[in-house]
Amino acid sequence: MAGNLTLILYSLAGGLVPVGVWLWFWLKEDKQKPEPARLVIRVFLAGAASVALAYFFERSACDLAWLAAACQGLSHPDWLALNVQTKTLLLAWAGIEELLKFLAAYLIIFRQAAFDEPVDAMIYMITAALGFAAIENGLFLFNTLTETGPAVFLLTGNLRFMGANIVHVVSSAFVGGMMALAFCFRGVRRFGYIVAGLVTATLLHALFNFLIIISDGDQLFKVLALLWLFAIFIILLFEKVKTVVCPPKYV
């Protein structure tokens, strides 16, 4: 019992510490008008809770006869077939996660009066993404500890920090950026920006997963380098969003 508790604590630390670093870094982008800590925590927890829903819906996708073989293939990479079903599954799983992260932020903050400036959209979407990543990381690292050992745990933790955390941050930040650019719009126009952001985020997320699979680890750092380029783009998008000023009457 004590051993299991220790593994859980190590896994939680491995999931939360890197995420805490990321969250501190991105919150600095809104240092002129910081968001209330209670709202940041609520969105973070909502993002974390959405992992359970993601698991349910992703497992439900595997219950579909057309995708069942693809799910088995992802569990056994030695006979993985990168066919239409597998690519559809990766796309579906990415879409589920991106939509749930968006809903976590939308239900907590985006309908509230506290959502009062464009940059808030990016801050809260990144917060929800990091909440999701924290639990996902913890579960992944717990499995790594129980099946391999501390040495692999340390290496895997660093790769999760560089890889999975970045893809969650970049994809959700892009959705937030599109929301921010549409902050002054209403109705169909704003909805169109959000949909475009979610579709792009889903494609990016699925592409990352696909590249990781086909690289089989050999080209991992090239994939991570590509993600870091996207992260730089997100920083530039932050600067663009900070210049958005709405006219007296929204368009």
Q: Does pTM top 0.85 for this prediction?
A: no
Average pLDDT over residues 111-140: 87
Average pLDDT over residues 152-177: 67
Predicted local distance difference test score (pLDDT) of residue 128: 94
Q: What is the DSSP string of the chain?
A: -HHHHHHHHHHHHHHHHHHHHHHHHHHGGGTTSPPPHHHHHHHHHHHHHHHHHHHHHHHHHHTSHHHHHHHHHHH-GGG---SHHHHHHHHHHHHHHHHHHHHHHIIIIITSTT--SHHHHHHHHHHHHHHHHHHHHHHHHHHHHHHT-HHHHHHHHHHHHHTHHHHHHHHHHHHHHHHHHTTT--THHHHHHHHHHHHHHHHHHHHHHHHHHHHTTTTHHHHHHHHHHHHHHHHHHHHHHTT----SS--
- At residue 229 the predicted structure's pLDDT band, cuts being 50, 70 and 90, is confident
Residue 154 pLDDT > 80, yes or no?
Answer: no
Residue 91 pLDDT > 90, yes or no?
Answer: yes
The full set of domain ranges for the chain reads: 2-241
Predicted local distance difference test score (pLDDT) of residue 146: 57
- Output the average pLDDT for the chain: 79
- At residue 126 the predicted structure's pLDDT band, cuts being 50, 70 and 90, is very high
Predicted local distance difference test score (pLDDT) of residue 226: 78
Predicted local distance difference test score (pLDDT) of residue 1: 47
Predicted local distance difference test score (pLDDT) of residue 147: 53
Average pLDDT over residues 140-153: 51
Predicted local distance difference test score (pLDDT) of residue 176: 96
